[in-house]
Amino acid sequence: MPVITCIDDLKRLHERRTPRMFFDYCESGSWTEQTFRENTSDFDKIYLRQRVAVDMSGRSTATQMIGQDVSMPVALAPVGLTGMQCADGEIKAARAAEKFGVPFTLSTMSINSIEEVAEATTKPFWFQLYTMRDEDYVRRLIERAKAAGCSALVITLDLQILGQRHKDLKNGLSAPPKLTAKTIANLMTKWSWGLGMLGAKRRNFGNIVGHVDGISDAADLGAWTAEQFDPTLDWGKIAKIKELWGGPVILKGILDAEDAKMALQVGADAIIVSNHGGRQLDGAISSIRALPSILDAVGDQVEVHLDSGIRSGQDILKAVSMGAKGTFIGRAFVYGLGAMGEKGVTTALEVLHRELDISMALCGRRRIDELGRDILLVPEDFGGRWQG
Percent helix, percent strand, percent coil in the chain, to nearest 5: 45, 10, 40
What are the beta bridge partners of residue 252? 156, 272
Amino acid at 212: V
Residue-wise over 167-194: b if at least 16 C-beta within 10 A, else e?
bbeebebbbebeeeeebeebbeebeebe
Chain centre distance of CA 247? 20
Q: What is the 3-state secondary structure (H, E, C) of 173-240?
A: CCCCCCCCHHHHHHHCCCHHHHHHHHCCCCCCCCCCCCCCCCCCCCCCHHHHHHHHECCCCCHHHHHH
Q: Which of 14, 166, 211, 276 is catalytic?
A: 276
Give the span between the Cα atoms of 356 and 360, in whole angstroms: 6
Half-sphere exposure of 352 (CA within 13 A, CB side): 34
Q: Do the beta carbons of residue 281 and residue 30 sit within 8 Å? A: yes
* 335 in Cβ contact with 348 (< 8 Å): yes
Residue-by-residue DSSP string for 269-306? SEEEE--GGGTSSTTPPPHHHHHHHHHHHHTTSSEEEE
Q: Could you tell me how far CA 107 lies from the centroid of its own chain? A: 9
Distance from the first to the final alpha carbon of the chain: 55
C-alpha–C-alpha distance, residues 191 and 186, integer Å: 10
CA distances (Å), origin 261, targets 156, 235, 268, 323, 361: 16, 11, 10, 17, 35
**Beta-bridge partners for 60:** 367
- Is 276 designated active site? yes
* Helices (H) then strands (E): counts for the chain: 16, 12
Please provide the DSSP assignment of 122-148 as one string. SS--EEEE--BS-HHHHHHHHHHHHHT
- Closest alpha carbon to 312 in 3, 1, 11, 2: 11
Active centre residues (catalytic): 276
